[in-house]
Amino acid sequence: MEKRHGKLREVKGKNCFDVFHEEMEICKNCSTKKTFETGKKNSASIKKPDHTIEISTSPIKDKRGRIAAVIEIVRVTKKGKN
């Protein structure tokens, strides 16, 4: 990740679409948004010319069962590699 997107301290607190997609607004099929809306796990795959971005999201619920946060796990794979 550091080679493509910089050190963690440089991306911490930024939006996914800023770091991985180089966009100015939330993606149309945003997994994190869907997880906040549904309370369920979600995933998406975004194909770029030289790599694929795989995103998995899961809700983190508080004691009352309300969604307090969403954890997002991102995997970037280059074409021809796993």
> Is residue 55 a contact partner of residue 31, using CB atoms and an 8 Å limit?
yes
For residue 61 the two structure tokens come to 């619920």
Question: Which CATH number covers residue 70?
Answer: 3.30.450
Domain range spanning residue 62? 2-78
Mean pLDDT of the chain: 82
For residue 24 the two structure tokens come to 């100015």
Q: Which residue, among 9, 23, 20, has the nearest Cα to 73 in the 3D structure?
A: 20
Query: What are the tens digits of pLDDT across the range 39-79?
Result: 999 998 888 888 888 999 999 999 999 999 999 888 888 87
Could you give the number of structural domains in the chain?
Answer: 1
Q: Which residue has the tokens 């149309």?
A: 28
**Cα four-point dihedral sign 3, 6, 45, 74:** positive
**Is 0.75 topped by the overall pTM?**
no
